[in-house]
Amino acid sequence: MTAVAQTQRETGLTGNSAIAYAMMQINPDVCPAYPITPSTSVIEEFSSYVADGKVETELIPTESEHSAMSAGVGASAAGARVMTATSAQGLALMWEMLYIASGMRLPIILTDVNRALSAPINIHCDHSDTMGARDSGWLQLYSETVQEAYDNLIMAVRIAEDKRVQLPIMVCLDGFITSHAIENISLLSTEAVQGFVGEYTPDSALLNVENPATFGAMTLPYAYMPLKKQQSDAMTASKPVVEEIAAEFALLSGRNYGLLEEYKLDDAEVAIVVLNSSAGTVKDAVDTLRAQGKKVGALKPRLYRPFPHAEIAKALSGKKAVCVLDRADSMNGFGGPLFTDIRSALYSDANRPQIIDRIYGLGGADFRVNDALGVFDELFKVQETGQVDELIKYLTV
Amino acid sequence: MVKNKDFTMLDAKDLPLGGVLPDAGSAEEYETGGWRKLRPIFDPEKCIDCLTCWVMCPDSAIYVEDDKIAGYDLDHCKGCGICAEVCPDKVQAITMVEEEN
Amino acid sequence: MATLKELAKKEELFTGGHRLCAGCGIPPIVRLILRSTDSNIVATTATGCLEVASSVYPYTAWKVPWVHSAFENAAATITGAEGAYKALKRKKRLPGSDQERDIKFIAFGGDGGTYDIGFQALSGALERGHNFLYVCYDNGAYMNTGVQRSSATPLGSNTTTSPAGEVILGKQQWRKDLTKIVAAHNIPYVGQASPHNWRDLSKKSEKALAINGPTFLNVISACPLGWYAKPEDSIALCKLATETCYWPLYEIEEGVLKVNYKPKDKRPIMEWIKPQGRFKHLFKADGGMEIIEEFQRRLDEEWERLLELDGKRV
Ligand code: SF4
Ligand code: SF4
């Protein structure tokens, strides 16, 4: 039996249970939280771990998500490792504090169980919540499966707290689809998780009363701008850290994660780019078409912030036609956020493909293998004609 | 500590992350005495060292040593006149006068 | 209770060199409260005059660990820091060497950050029972942004969002009674104080900081800018606020209310209003006197009610 296998246990868990379990294994110092569908059971289950004495975490059941993230900022500045979870309106209510957490360089770890934003009110999955926070200065990791969500969360702790990064991080998984469906998952032992994440030791902390420091000072332009540059540089610098920590995690778990996952992409002529659980659907469609001898593939970014623009451009360079599937609309009249980012990343590539955007699955709308096959049909047409008829379109409506 | 008296752009590589200021009480290095239009003149002969002026001063600008008023920190005193106001009526050890320049 | 001589021996934890206005009422409150415990202090401040003026990068007037995060969340922020303290103490991982150290947590907020935008976070933090003191410095308007009305602004006051116009004479509404609302959370200690009476304020903050659980102090703070008053009168105006019973000094300890000061010669509100330019339109415009009379009537009622509660479980 290998060392890797000894540290692992196979079981069936929902995404939310796996997240709560990882949080229990990590045993964060402070968990400020507020319930919201579909992330609620993360906090419920974690509250039970607290109540049962399985963790030494201080649970702060705040009266709103804004206060949850505010308490998170206070706790993190105080020197604590802080973890929380939310969804949709909850993340939106945190919006102000997301920027503050990042600007203050506080490595808070948040799980967002993706859900549509109101209005109209809808509790089902899409990515409009975390896409709305894509430029808040948080790193974002997306997760296709329960396993990936669990693994991402454990890696997230190390990434956020790395001295080269020191930025907050969001782990995203699809509401109800991943959060509530039971999948087989391989859990690490708690000792292995704790050994991997280590202890949080910030350079300065409010609770370090021997060195009283001021956090969150008022800045004028001469300080604001250089501090913003520092933050931006850290965001850029975090990309190799994500890779490094994934490599370390692979040694522990036997599971390999890149910034992106390329699925049969190498020799593909047309490809779909997609985040989170729908990647599974797209992979099925790829398999179906591959069986027919069609050169198709898929690309699933795992890291979305910082945006791995060079890696994505490299992966898509030379393809004939690409469709970006967006589970959110930017409402800017120019498609979804993933589309504009990817199109921009490809701009300076001499062999850039034709590229289209298809918005799908809003508010939990189904996206089936047939829908993915339909997208590939569109791509074949683009490949054939070299023409894009419709740049941006809603699917299934 | 990072100093900036002339409002020039600071260098990102000098600044502690996240805008943290590690030097507690560094505002003491920032002079607000120039705001003053009136200056407190203190008469130690009259003073009964009740320390009321000390506790009411908004700018922590009155020194106390060995239970006695030991002088004024004119680098920080903004000349508000509160000290003169709160000095007991029968003492009136502080008078506010026009600042010269 | 400490004497001024004893207090003066303690370290100054809020230094000069901050940019609050000359004659600002806030610093004497902060200076005194920071001297009211021998324990270490960690403080936070809601966005507002105190926050902006005390931390202009790279200068800080704070000699205690201090954090600012936003406007509406001082109470939530401090409970996070307090939660971190509990967790790290339990885990024996407090930064620094002394794992047994005692830390008091204090949140400061103005009336805007407390009565209005920070009210929800305050209520939540009080209900959760964290161990912290919340201090509201109430100067009766959003002074930092240029004197806009808040729910603490007194009746008839001229502010930039309740201006004294041709038809409407300043603020039309009676102020929110935040001290009582906070008391309704049934926390162990609530006090209302004024910096002119340093003895009373110091006693109250000592008490509050010695208690295990959430405590609250509402402290009147004069603002020469927003009150259109002379800077040297800041302390005297706070005194007059108590003499007119606009700002009664009282406390509610374990549910029992005690009026700490009953003026022998209760002064008419006119004496407090008169020296403040924010009320001057009331003396010129038709209907102004009626507003002052209404002010007096409601104050008298409130004072009577408070006296009835004196010594009682509320
Ligand atoms: S004039 Fe004002 S600032 Fe100067 S010492 Fe007196 S009280 Fe302090
Ligand atoms: S208030 Fe007057 S008498 Fe009291 S210490 Fe100050 S100067 Fe002296």
In chain C, where does DSSP find H-type helix? 4-9, 26-34, 49-54, 74-90, 111, 119-128, 178-183, 198-210, 224-227, 234-243, 269-273, 288-309
A169-174 and A109-114: which strand pairing? parallel
A200 and A96 within one domain: yes
Q: Which range marks the domain in which residue A302 is found?
A: 261-394
Structural domain includes residue C314: no
Locate the chain C residue with the closest alpha carbon to A221: C57
Would you list the DSSP string of A339-396? HHHHHHHHTT-TTPPEEEEEE--GGG----HHHHHHHHHHHHHHHHHS--S-SEEES-
Q: Ligand 1 center to residue B55 CA distance, Å?
A: 11
Ramachandran region of residue A216, left (φ > 0), alpha (ψ -120 to 50) or beta? Answer: left
Neighbouring chains of C at 3+ CB pairs under 8 Å are A, B
Q: A86-100, A215-229, B1-15, C109-123 — which is least confidently predicted?
A: B1-15
Chain C, 233 to 272: residues with Cβ < 8 Å from chain A are: none
Which residues fall within 8 angstroms of residue A283, CB to CB, at 6 or more apart?
A263, A298
Q: DSSP 3-state assignment of A170? A: strand
Same domain membership, residue A214 and residue A331: no
Question: In terms of domains, do A211 and A275 share one?
Answer: no
Domain count, chain C: 1
Q: What is the mean pLDDT of the segment spanning C82-103?
A: 94
Chain C's closest residue to B36, CA to CA, is: C22
Radius of gyration for chain A, computed over Cα atoms and rounded to the nearest angstrom: 21
CB-based burial, C85-98: b 16+ in 10 Å, e otherwise: bbbbbebebbbeee
For the record, the structure tokens of A335 come out as 């498609």
Structural domain including C189 reads 4-309
pLDDT computed for residue A188 by the predictor: 97
Q: pLDDT tens for residues C185-229?
A: 999 999 999 999 999 999 999 999 999 999 999 999 999 999 999
**C310 vs C313: CA distance, rounded Å:** 9
**Residue C202 included in any domain:** yes
> CATH number, domain at C92?
3.40.50.970
- Chain B residues lying within 8 Å of C15, measured CB to CB: 25, 27-28, 60
- The pLDDT of residue A264: 98
**Inter-chain touch C80–A64, beta carbons under 8 Å:** no
Which residues of chain A fall below pLDDT 70?
Answer: 1-7
C276 domain residue, yes or no: yes
Q: Residue C103: beta bridge partners?
A: C40
- The rounded percent of chain C whose pLDDT value lies above 70 is 100
Out of A253, A286, A314, pick the residue that ends a domain: A253
The predicted structure's pLDDT at residue C184: 97
- Ligand 2 pocket, residue B84 CB under 6 Å: no
**Which position has the token pair 């190799």?**
A240
Query: Distance from the CA of B94 to the center of ligand 1, in angstroms?
Result: 10
- Clarify whether residues A198 and A304 are in a common domain: no
Q: What is the pLDDT of residue C133?
A: 98
Residues C93 and C32: beta-carbon distance below 8 Å: no
Instruction: State the pLDDT at residue C98.
Output: 87
Answer whether residue B1 shows pLDDT above 90: no
Number of alpha carbons in the 13 Å side-chain half-sphere of residue C285: 18
Position C97 scores a pLDDT of 83
Closest chain A C-alpha to B35 CA, distance in angstroms? 20
Instruction: Please check whether residue C5 touches A, CB under 8 A.
Output: no
Q: Which ligand is nearest to the CA of B69?
A: 2
Task: Give the Cβ contact number of residue A151 at 10 Å.
Answer: 27
Q: How far apart are CA A5 and CA A189, in angstroms?
A: 10
Atom of ligand 1 minimally distant from the CA of B62: 5
CATH of residue A310's domain is 3.40.50.920
Given pLDDT bands bounded at 50, 70 and 90, which one contains residue B101?
Answer: low
ipTM of the complex: 0.97
Query: Measuring CA to CA, which residue among A317, A320, A300 is closest to residue A379?
Result: A320
Tell whether A66 and A210 lie within a shared domain: yes
Phi, psi of A215, deg, nearest 5: -115, 140
Q: Is the pLDDT of residue C143 over 50?
A: yes
Q: How many C-beta atoms lie closer than 10 Å to residue C308's C-beta?
A: 10
A9 and A63 in a single domain? The answer is yes
Of the candidates C55, C70, C128, which has its C-beta nearest A218's C-beta?
C55
Determine contact: B5 vs chain A, CB below 8 A.
Answer: no
Residue A277 and residue A238 share a domain? no
Find the distance separating the first CA and the last CA of chain A, reported in whole Å.
Answer: 52
Give first-to-last CA distance, chain C, whole Å: 26
Cα A180 from Cα A183, distance rounded (Å): 9
Q: Which one, of A112, A110, A131, A125, lies nearest residue A175 by Cα?
A: A125
Q: Ligand 2: which residue has its CA nearest to atom 2?
A: B87
For residue C23 the two structure tokens come to: 């004659």
Determine if ligand 2 sits within 6 Å of the CB of residue B52: yes
Residue C107 lies in a domain: yes
Q: Is the CB of B87 under 6 A from ligand 2?
A: yes
Which residues in chain A have their CB less than 8 angstroms from residue B10's CB?
222-223, 226
Helix (H) or strand (E) holding B54: helix B52-56
Which one, of C218, C199, C237, C247, lies nearest residue C108 by Cα?
Answer: C218
Average the pLDDT over B23-37 and give the result. 97
Q: Which of C50, C79, C119, C130 to mutate to test the interface with A (most CBs of A within 10 A)?
A: C79
The domain boundary, picked from A229, A253, A277, lies at A253
**Nearest-by-Cβ selection for C65 from A75, A212, A219:** A212
> Are the beta carbons of A386 and A379 closer than 8 angstroms?
no
> Tens digits of per-residue pLDDT, B48-88?
999 999 999 999 999 999 999 999 999 999 999 999 999 99
- The CA distance from B49 to the nearest CA of chain A, in Å, is 32
- Return the number of other C-beta atoms located less than 10 Å from residue C250's C-beta: 23
| Alpha carbon A316 to its chain's center | 21
Q: How far is the CA of C219 from the centre of ligand 1 (A)?
A: 21
Number of domains in chain A: 2
Beta bridge pairs of residue A271: A297, A322
> What pLDDT shows up at residue A3?
56
| Number of residues that make up chain C | 314
Q: How far is the CA of A213 from the centre of ligand 1 (A)?
A: 27
Per DSSP, chain A holds a count of helices (H) and strands (E) of: 13, 16
**From ligand 1's centre to the CA of B76, what distance in Å?**
9
Name the residue of chain A whose CA is nearest to C13's CA.
A212
Q: Which two tokens stand for residue A273?
A: 């780019």
Q: Closest ligand 1 atom, CA of B39?
A: 1
CA distance A297 to C20: 63
Q: What's the pLDDT at A4?
A: 62
**CB neighbours (10 Å) of residue A307?**
21
Question: Which of A69, A52, A46, A83 has its CA nearest to residue A197?
Answer: A83
Q: Give phi and psi for A318, each to the nearest 5.
A: 90, -10
Which residue, judged by its Cα, is nearest atom 6 of ligand 2? B53
Nearest CB neighbour to B55, from listed C7, C24, C55: C7
Question: Quick one: tokens of A377?
Answer: 């049909």
Total length of chain A:
397
How far does chain B reach from its first CA to its final CA, in angstroms?
A: 31
Q: Between chains, do C19 and B54 touch, taking CB under 8 Å as contact? A: no
Q: Is the pLDDT of residue C92 over 50?
A: yes
Distance B42 CA to ligand 2 centre (A): 9
CA B22 to chain centre: 22
Residue type, A71: A
Same domain, A301 and A159: no
**Which C residues, 152 through 171, put their C-beta within 8 Å of a C-beta on chain A?**
none
| Rounded Cα distance, A176 and A125, in Å | 7
Please report whether residue C296 resides in a domain. yes
Provide the pLDDT for residue A1.
42
CATH of the domain at A136: 3.40.50.970
What's the mean pLDDT when you consider all of chain B?
A: 94
Instruction: Indicate the angle between helix axes A190-197 and A15-26, nearest 10 degrees.
Output: 70
Query: CA of B91: how far to CAs of A13, B40, B69, in Å?
Result: 79, 15, 14
